[in-house]
Amino acid sequence: MNKEQFEKILDRCCSMLTEEAKNSLFKTSAQFENRVREVLDIIGKENSEFQIDFNPHPQAFPDIAMGEYGVEVKFTLNDTWRSIANSVLETQRIDSVKHIYVVFGKMGGIPEVRWGEYEQSVIHVRTSHVPRFEIELPPESGEAKESLFKQMGIRYDDFRKLDMQDKMKYIRSYARKIHPDGRLWWIEDSNGSDQHTTPIQARLYTNLTTEEKTRLRAEAALLCPSIVKSGRSRNKYDDMVLYLLTYHGVLCHQARDLFSAGSVANPKNDDAGGIYIERALKLIEEEMKKAALTMDDALFVEYWGESVPPELRIKRWLEKADQLATEWTPSKSLFRD
């Protein structure tokens, strides 16, 4: 099977999935990925070109391997063709796969499923606990963005074979190019293992607008329910601070002030007492609900270790928070409407 033949299979697969999505939206990334496997399996059995593994390693890259061809599945409930992708490390790379494609299910707006070549679809590298690629499929009418690898001056197949230290040289150079006037912060990992030097353009939390502060607090609180732990708990804010820094380039040097400061938890200065973190969270309930419905599923997989449908994320957050809080019960006071 050559590339042209495989791409015709992807054309057919995406056409079938688009029709299914128009009739009934896919609800979760897991549901969508499983259906992609099923449809490819149906097509594969017709010509015996490949077999689909329905029990792959959960962290395998790409998600679906078919001989020397592979498919990485992306999914969003939003009206966008952009998504967080795999880690730059590619520690679970399937070596037999030589050509990788993206099958992307977009359920927001007009539901549609499309495919693209992986190398051409990677348009940015962003930071989390480790650097991660970001992909975007081009709109039907409009120019495709230049791929990250073209911007870095190296083919993807050559880049992926480098060790992490050499990969970071390209990523640093790219970061300097896109932020020529920005101040770059360098996060070093002295062990040289899974976390490496990661470039980002940093902003101080204190310099943000009130609207942006509120939005980022809501996102961070949702991803990091550990903030409800006892005030005596060490490191309860670590994940939240790292999220703001690595995903948004925002440096917060007084983490407790995000939720425990009087100006945040008690803006009216009414001396009503109570637990400050509880009061602070009640003030951003609506923003947290919005974040739950719109944030990328990959973030919840990364921070919670599981994929949760948007409409169930607040419920799941409360379950997690109830297990972590010792001085109060979040589900008895938050999101009661």
Residue 68 lies in a domain: yes
Of 127, 143, 178, which residue sits at a domain end?
178
65 in the same domain as 22: yes
For the chain, percent of residues with pLDDT exceeding 70: 85
Cα(first)–Cα(last) distance of the chain, in Å?
A: 56
Question: Cα separation of 316 and 309, whole Å?
Answer: 10
Flag whether 197 is in a domain. no
Examine the domain organization and report whether 317 and 172 are in the same domain. Answer: no
| 44 vs 26 pLDDT, higher one | 26
In a domain, 306, yes or no: yes
Residue 193 has pLDDT above 60, yes or no: no
- Asked if 214 and 318 sit in the same domain, the reply is yes
Residues 260 and 174 in one domain: no
- Strand-pair partners of 76: 106
- For residues 163 and 298, state if they share a domain: no
Same domain, 126 and 72: yes
Tally of CB atoms within 10 A around 320? 15
Q: Same domain, yes or no, for 65 and 214?
A: no
Mean of pLDDT values over 143-164:
92
Distances (CA, A) of 100 to 2, 23, 78, 315: 13, 29, 24, 36
Q: How many domains does the chain have?
A: 2
Asked if residue 237 has pLDDT above 80, the reply is yes
Q: What are 40-87's pLDDT values in tens digits?
A: 999 988 877 778 888 888 889 999 999 999 999 999 999 999 998 988
Neighbouring C-beta atoms of residue 249, cutoff 10 Å? 19
Please answer whether residues 108 and 145 qualify as being in contact, where contact means their C-beta atoms are separated by less than 8 angstroms: no
| Residue 75, domain member (yes or no) | yes
Residues 224 and 286 in one domain: yes
Cα distances (angstroms) measured from residue 335 to each of 103, 267, 282, 288, 293: 36, 20, 8, 10, 14
Q: What is the DSSP string of 200-251?
A: EE-EEGGGS-HHHHHHHHHHHHHH-GGGGS-TT-TTTTHHHHHHHHHHH-EE
Lowest mean pLDDT segment, chosen from 86-90, 113-117, 139-143, 182-186: 182-186
Print the domain residue range for 22. 3-178
Element housing 132 (H / E): strand 131-136
